């Protein structure tokens, strides 16, 4: 192996390096030149002239850049090697808390006396030390330690013999080895120092630099932690005593943690052996009041939402004689509704009634607890589902058609078949004419069994190519697709949209806080309600969204966005970085009506009428995309306050009804702005707005127009401040708040 020797010049090492390692740019230039020379369509003489005129300056530039980087590399290596070759020796040696100064010119015959504080546990030792010199052998230093009886003092004679000038003393006390300890082994002899090249010196110096940075970082972190610790409160435990109830509330303060220990009251210490059950519906105010009461009292309960479990509605009528909700049961005994609960609570009879009815174990006659996966009503519904009239033809086509990959319009199209072949199979199976066969093919397209590979037509006679929905490239990435497509007759889109809203509302009422700011995604993912929602999404695969009215379509896509966001958080988690957000908003998809929909497509392609998303250069839909017909004619800026992406800075999660979607969106915007989405500083004439308005400024208009629009959703005080700022004609400074991407857990 050739080594580059140091001769006092950076360029000497550089020249030797070039000789041993020719630059790759030169090789690349030669290869490109030869390749172009061989395959060029021009005459060789013309080609050489063209290369000389156009290519040579570019190659010279690359070569010069390569030379500059190498010179910089060897310059840095030269500086580091000089530091390593001439280390400064230590001037002082500290031995047993005493500092001994050793000069370069007077190191011979030095005698030092040391005090031994360890008693008589030391013995005579002889130590050798190698003193390095420039390209010479190391000399031997001996240290003699004389033991003096059982006293606590020792005199150590150090004799240093050296022919060089760059040596210094070393002191090491030795403890007398015990009999039961293993015999110590002598240290390995140092190897002679080898001549090192410039590149090796640079490589070996890097760990030292990294160690220095790491040590400094550790020191700085320790100093910051110590400073923060000194700022914490030095409070003692806080104890509040109530003599009448003989209770104590103890507050324990730990650094970074605050723990409050509260002893349960007499009522709270009452052990409930029975079960509290109540029947409810989604979006029911009385049911919400009952649920809130049980949560505040920390009473365990079982809720049976008949919108989630429709079969239990019959049981409710059988047990109570009516279908009104809420209906509360203590074990198998009917307590009543909200009115009965409030009257018992106000009269003080509720605790007594609970002790009477809940002191015994819940009998078998009480309402059953819903069990995950056991939903006989859904099984019965699936059995009663009407089979699609075209299903027989579809099964025949799947078995008969030659499905294969083809090269069409210079593109490889996978798993497709020719329309002529399908038409012949239909005519032969139905024993009909070509006109009837073409009409049947169009029905298959309208029901989303098949699609044109380029989306050019529904179904036409000729050499066109189609494929089944389950063979679409996007289908395996859709999270509402399971092994196969749902082949049953598509249900009414209005029915599915209403069921989705009720089901997701029931999930929020059961597993979110009362203000909807915190959602328990873990419990949602394990719940029976969410399992039923996943089953519902399979019915959306071939739904016909053209049958929805504009308000129904708006409410449907708002609810679908919020439901998909919850599903995405449960499946892939909250987005933590830019790449995670791209996967969260762009790659998490459902197949709906035969087409893929992601969160970004729903927000920007449908609800915003195919407008670019923030920091994007392209629109969600290209020209001719059939999903554009579901977008509203005019963008409603209120949609941004009805969409929740699962973060802390987004609006609270909610689900809308088709009958009142406009009013519900206005209420959502009013709640969002009154909870900190706008801050006004009259002295500085500054308005701080949510970053959502900046990201989607094209939907809201100019900044002052935004303020006039926002005034409709503010309380009287803030609306008055904005009116004052806008009316006096002075400048207004706009500031946009930081967006918190943390999850709304």
- CB count within 10 Å of CB 284 equals 19
Does residue 135 belong to any structural domain of this protein?
no
Confidence of residue 103 (pLDDT cuts 50, 70, 90): very low
In tens, the pLDDT along 666-690 reads: 999 999 999 999 999 989 999 999 9
pLDDT at 6 over 50: no
pLDDT of residue 342: 93
CB contact at 8 A, 558 and 656: yes
Higher pLDDT, 581 or 55: 581
What is the count of structural domains for the chain? Answer: 4
Does residue 151 belong to any structural domain of this protein?
no
CB contact at 8 A, 142 and 171: no
Does residue 198 belong to any structural domain of this protein?
no
pLDDT of residue 655: 97
pLDDT of residue 47: 55
**Are residue 609 and residue 546 in the same domain, yes or no?**
yes
**Are residue 499 and residue 568 in the same domain, yes or no?**
yes
pLDDT of residue 220: 62
Higher pLDDT, 732 or 71: 732
Beta bridge partners of 153: 115
pLDDT at 517 over 50: yes
**Which backbone phi and psi does 92 adopt, to 5 degrees?**
-120, 145
Strands (E), 541-635: 589-592, 595-598
* DSSP label of 583: I
pLDDT at 111 over 70: no
pLDDT of residue 371: 85
Of 207-216, 228-237, 589-598, 684-693, least confident by mean pLDDT is: 228-237
Percentage with pLDDT > 70 across the chain: 63
Confidence of residue 465 (pLDDT cuts 50, 70, 90): very high
pLDDT of residue 248: 47
Tell me the average pLDDT across 433-452: 92
**Are residue 537 and residue 567 in the same domain, yes or no?**
yes
553: tokens are 């379509």
pLDDT at 27 over 70: no
DSSP 261-291: EE---TTTT----S-EEEEE-TT-HHHHHHH
Tell me: cis bond preceding 326? Omega within 30 of 0 counts: yes
Tell me the average pLDDT across 126-144: 40
- CA–CA distance, 463 with 420 (Å, rounded to integer): 6
Q: Would you put residue 448 in left (φ > 0), alpha (ψ -120 to 50) or beta?
A: left
Confidence of residue 463 (pLDDT cuts 50, 70, 90): confident
pLDDT of residue 244: 37
- CA–CA distance, 583 with 296 (Å, rounded to integer): 39
Confidence of residue 728 (pLDDT cuts 50, 70, 90): confident
123: tokens are 């013995």
- CA–CA distance, 3 with 26 (Å, rounded to integer): 23
Does residue 562 belong to any structural domain of this protein?
yes
pLDDT at 162 over 60: no
CB contact at 8 A, 664 and 710: no
Q: Of 667, 701, 722, at which residue does a domain stop?
A: 667
Please state the length of the chain. Answer: 745
Q: Of 359, 376, 397, at which residue does a domain stop?
A: 359
**Are residue 594 and residue 704 in the same domain, yes or no?**
no
Does residue 294 belong to any structural domain of this protein?
yes
pLDDT of residue 238: 40
In tens, the pLDDT along 546-603 reads: 999 999 999 999 999 999 999 999 999 998 888 889 899 999 999 999 999 999 999 9
**Are residue 576 and residue 709 in the same domain, yes or no?**
no
**Are residue 659 and residue 708 in the same domain, yes or no?**
no
**Are residue 525 and residue 658 in the same domain, yes or no?**
yes
Does residue 115 belong to any structural domain of this protein?
no
pLDDT at 204 over 60: no
Return the sign of the alpha-carbon dihedral for residues 462, 465, 467, 472. Answer: negative
447: tokens are 């029901």
Tell me the average pLDDT across 340-349: 93
493: tokens are 């889109």
**Are residue 689 and residue 560 in the same domain, yes or no?**
no
Tell me the average pLDDT across 215-226: 64
Does residue 652 belong to any structural domain of this protein?
yes
**Are residue 502 and residue 644 in the same domain, yes or no?**
yes
Q: What is the pTM of this model?
A: 0.66
The boundaries of the domain holding residue 689 are 673-736
CATH of the domain at 354: 3.40.30.10
**Are residue 685 and residue 663 in the same domain, yes or no?**
no
Q: Of 641, 667, 693, at which residue does a domain stop?
A: 667
- CA–CA distance, 526 with 516 (Å, rounded to integer): 19
Does residue 460 belong to any structural domain of this protein?
yes
Confidence of residue 729 (pLDDT cuts 50, 70, 90): confident
**Are residue 298 and residue 341 in the same domain, yes or no?**
yes
CATH of the domain at 406: 1.10.10.10
Higher pLDDT, 259 or 365: 365
**Which backbone phi and psi does 90 adopt, to 5 degrees?**
-70, 140
In tens, the pLDDT along 404-422 reads: 999 998 899 999 999 999 9
Rounded to the nearest 10 degrees, the angle between the axes of helix 493-511 and helix 528-538 is 160
**Are residue 529 and residue 567 in the same domain, yes or no?**
yes
């Amino acid at each position: 192996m050739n080594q580059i020797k140091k001769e006092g010049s950076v360029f000497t090492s550089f020249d030797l390096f070039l000789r041993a390692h020719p630059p790759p740019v030169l090789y690349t230039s030669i290869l490109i030149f030869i390749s172009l020379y061989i395959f060029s369509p021009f005459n060789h003489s013309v080609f050489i002239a063209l290369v000389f005129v156009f290519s040579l300056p570019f190659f010279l530039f690359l070569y010069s850049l390569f030379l500059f980087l190498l010179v910089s590399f060897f310059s840095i290596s030269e500086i580091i090697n000089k530091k390593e070759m001439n280390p400064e020796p230590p001037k002082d040696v500290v031995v047993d808390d005493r500092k001994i100064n050793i000069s370069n010119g007077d190191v011979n015959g030095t005698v030092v006396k040391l005090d031994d504080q360890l008693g008589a546990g030391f013995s005579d030792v002889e130590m050798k030390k190698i003193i390095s010199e420039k390209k010479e052998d190391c000399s031997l230093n001996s240290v003699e330690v004389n033991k003096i009886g059982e006293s606590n003092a020792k005199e150590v004679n150090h004799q240093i013999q050296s022919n060089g000038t760059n040596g210094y003393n070393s002191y090491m006390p030795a403890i007398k080895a015990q009999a039961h300890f293993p015999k110590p082994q002598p240290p390995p002899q140092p190897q002679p120092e080898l001549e090192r090249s410039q590149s090796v010196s640079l490589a070996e110096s890097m760990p030292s630099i990294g160690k220095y940075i790491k040590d400094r970082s550790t020191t700085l972190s320790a100093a910051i932690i110590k400073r923060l610790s000194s700022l914490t409160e030095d409070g003692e435990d806080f104890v509040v005593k109530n003599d009448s109830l003989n209770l104590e509330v103890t507050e324990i303060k730990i650094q970074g943690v605050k723990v409050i220990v509260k002893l349960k009251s007499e009522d709270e210490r009452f052990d409930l052996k029975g079960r509290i059950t109540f029947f409810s519906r989604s979006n029911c105010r009385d049911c919400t009041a009952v649920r809130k009461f049980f949560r505040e009292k920390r009473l365990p309960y079982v809720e049976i939402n008949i919108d989630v479990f429709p079969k239990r509605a019959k049981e409710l009528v059988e047990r109570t004689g009516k279908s009104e909700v809420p209906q509360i049961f203590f074990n198998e005994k009917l307590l009543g509704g909200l009115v009965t609960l409030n009257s018992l609570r106000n009269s003080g009879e509720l605790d007594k009634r609970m002790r009477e009815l809940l002191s015994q174990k819940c009998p078998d006659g009480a309402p059953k607890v819903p069990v995950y996966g056991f939903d006989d009503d859904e099984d019965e519904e699936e059995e009663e589902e009407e089979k699609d009239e075209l299903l027989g033809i579809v099964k025949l086509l799947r078995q008969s058609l030659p499905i294969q990959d083809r090269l069409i319009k210079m593109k490889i199209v996978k798993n497709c078949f020719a329309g002529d072949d399908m038409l012949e199979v239909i005519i032969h199976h139905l024993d009909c004419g070509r006109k009837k066969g073409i009409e049947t093919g169009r029905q298959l397209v309208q029901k989303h069994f098949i699609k044109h590979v380029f989306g050019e037509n529904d179904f036409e006679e000729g050499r066109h190519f189609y494929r089944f929905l389950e063979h679409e490239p996007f289908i395996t990435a859709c999270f509402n697709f399971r092994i196969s497509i749902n082949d049953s007759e598509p249900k009414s889109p209005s029915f599915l949209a209403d069921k989705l809203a009720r089901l997701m509302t029931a999930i929020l009422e059961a597993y979110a806080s009362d203000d909807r700011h915190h959602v328990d995604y873990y419990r949602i993912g394990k719940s029976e309600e969410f399992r039923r929602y996943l089953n519902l999404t399979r019915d959306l695969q071939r739904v016909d969204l053209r049958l929805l009215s504009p308000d129904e379509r708006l409410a449907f896509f708002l609810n679908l966005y919020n439901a998909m966001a919850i599903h995405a958080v449960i499946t892939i988690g909250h987005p933590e970085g830019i790449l995670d957000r791209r996967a969260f908003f762009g790659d998490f998809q459902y197949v709906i009506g035969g087409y893929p929909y992601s969160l970004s497509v729903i927000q920007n392609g449908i609800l915003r009428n195919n407008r670019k998303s923030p920091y994007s250069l392209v629109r969600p839909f290209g020209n001719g995309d059939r999903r554009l017909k579901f977008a509203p004619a005019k963008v409603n800026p209120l949609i941004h306050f009805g969409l929740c992406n699962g973060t802390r800075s987004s609006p609270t999660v909610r689900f809308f009804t088709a009958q009142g979607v406009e009013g519900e969106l206005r209420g959502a915007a009013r709640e969002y702005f009154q909870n900190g989405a706008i801050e006004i500083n009259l002295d500085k004439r500054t308005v701080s707005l949510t970053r959502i308005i900046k990201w989607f400024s094209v939907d809201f208009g100019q900044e002052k127009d935004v303020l006039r629009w926002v005034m409709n959703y503010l309380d009287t005080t803030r609306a008055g401040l904005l009116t004052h700022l806008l009316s006096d004609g002075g400048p207004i400074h706009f500031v946009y708040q930081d967006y918190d991407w943390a999850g709304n857990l």
